[in-house]
Homo-oligomer: A and B are copies of this chain.
Amino acid sequence: MSLVLVGTMAFDAIETPFGKADKVVGGAVVYAGLAASFLYDNVKLISVVGDDFGDNINIIKNRNIAIEGIEVITGGKSFFWSGKYHNDMNSRDTLATDLNVLADFDPKVPPSYQDCEYLLLGNLTPNVQMTVLNRLHKQPKLVVLDTMNYWMDVALDDLKEVLKRVDILTINDSEARQLSGEYSLVKAANKILDMGPRYLIIKKGEHGSLLFGEGQIFSAPALPLADVFDPTGAGDTFAGGFIGYLAKVKSINFSNMKNAIIYGAALASFCVEAFGTDRLQSLNDEEISDRIKEFVSLSKFDISE
């Protein structure tokens, strides 16, 4: 049984108040894959790159992640994104989005991926997300979908169709408000849970995240950091850590989902410590374990009346 992650692979050019990187490896599924690989040992990726991606694929292979589902387009150029973060690091300007080979992405599901039990549909056009679901012979045990405001603007009907087939949706607070038409996140969650997903995770960046489902709410903190070096990929790292933990513990219930969110948040807190995927590449299990303890200490209180 395996964990399959679908999403973009890219070259990113990133400028933050701390520095500038002209061409680093990025893309949602790279961040998510690296994160998941620390928690689960059978991770498989579906994506598309140009042959300019070259040896960079080793970033993934080094973590024992399957790459059979990554199509390499000969003579094609990999997806390119360029962004500049403002001083507050919470807002950014997108300077360039060159889809390149991503424009015609037709996701391949190799026979060896048909054992998929856990599936992360990263932020992509809803049609591509639906195609992956349709090409799996068996509905996975758990499907997590990530999306963004852009698809709500240009492909809302398609998005709503995919939502009927997923278990967990992850979006940020403004996207939850847009999708539901409700300002209150409690009301927004109720409406979105009526659209199909059994659980909703609302990501609030430096303010943590909220999990809704089974009639319960869980509020997870983010780790307050002295320096956020580069926020790129933090949300994808969160998603990868989240589903990686669930694949590891196998049983899906509210209690495990809470822990999965803490693991996702812990991994995301590493991601922002360096440019691109650098920190995730140098990470080890002991560091993760120590970071989890920091999260426990950060949010634990003990009221006995």
* A residues at B contact (CB < 8 Å): 87-89, 183-187, 204, 206-208, 210, 216-222, 224-228, 255, 258-259, 261-262, 289, 292, 296-299, 301-303, 305
Chain B residues with CB below 8 A from A258, complex form: 301
Cβ–Cβ contact A262 & B298, under 8 A = no
Chain B residues with CB below 8 A from A204, complex form: 207
Cβ–Cβ contact B184 & A299, under 8 A = no
Chain B residues with CB below 8 A from A184, complex form: 224-228
* With A204-B207, A226-B186: A262-B303 Cβ-Cβ less than 8 Å: yes
| Closest chain B residue to A228, Cβ basis | B184
Cβ–Cβ contact B224 & A297, under 8 A = no
Cβ–Cβ contact B185 & A224, under 8 A = yes
Q: 7 A-B pairs, CB-CB below 8 angstroms?
A: A88-B183, A184-B226, A185-B224, A207-B207, A208-B208, A217-B298, A219-B298
Chain B residues with CB below 8 A from A210, complex form: 224
| Closest chain B residue to A89, Cβ basis | B183
A68, chain B: closest CB distance, angstroms: 32
Cβ–Cβ contact B219 & A208, under 8 A = yes
Chain B residues with CB below 8 A from A217, complex form: 224, 298
A91, chain B: closest CB distance, angstroms: 12
Cβ–Cβ contact A218 & B259, under 8 A = no
A230, chain B: closest CB distance, angstroms: 14
| Closest chain B residue to A294, Cβ basis | B217
Cβ–Cβ contact A225 & B303, under 8 A = no
The 3 A-B residue pairs with the shortest CB-CB distance in the complex, in nearest-first order: A219-B221, A207-B207, A258-B301
How long is the Cα–Cα vector from A218 to B301 in the complex, in angstroms? 9
Cβ–Cβ contact B299 & A219, under 8 A = yes
| Closest chain B residue to A177, Cβ basis | B88
| Closest chain B residue to A293, Cβ basis | B303
Cβ–Cβ contact A226 & B262, under 8 A = no
How long is the Cα–Cα vector from A216 to B207 in the complex, in angstroms? 18
Chain B residues with CB below 8 A from A225, complex form: 184, 186
Cross-chain contact of A292 among B221, B228, B305 (Cβ < 8 A): B305
Cβ–Cβ contact B228 & A259, under 8 A = no
| Closest chain B residue to A303, Cβ basis | B259
Chain B residues with CB below 8 A from A185, complex form: 206, 224
How long is the Cα–Cα vector from A268 to B217 in the complex, in angstroms? 18
How long is the Cα–Cα vector from A185 to B258 in the complex, in angstroms? 25
* With A258-B301, A259-B301, A301-B218: A87-B183 Cβ-Cβ less than 8 Å: yes
A176, chain B: closest CB distance, angstroms: 11
| Closest chain B residue to A87, Cβ basis | B183
Chain B residues with CB below 8 A from A186, complex form: 224-226
How long is the Cα–Cα vector from A80 to B162 in the complex, in angstroms? 53
Known interface pairs A219-B221, A221-B299; 16 further A-B residue pairs with C-beta atoms within 8 A, sorted by A's residue number: A184-B224, A184-B227, A186-B225, A187-B226, A207-B207, A208-B219, A210-B224, A216-B297, A218-B298, A219-B222, A255-B301, A255-B302, A262-B301, A292-B303, A292-B305, A299-B301
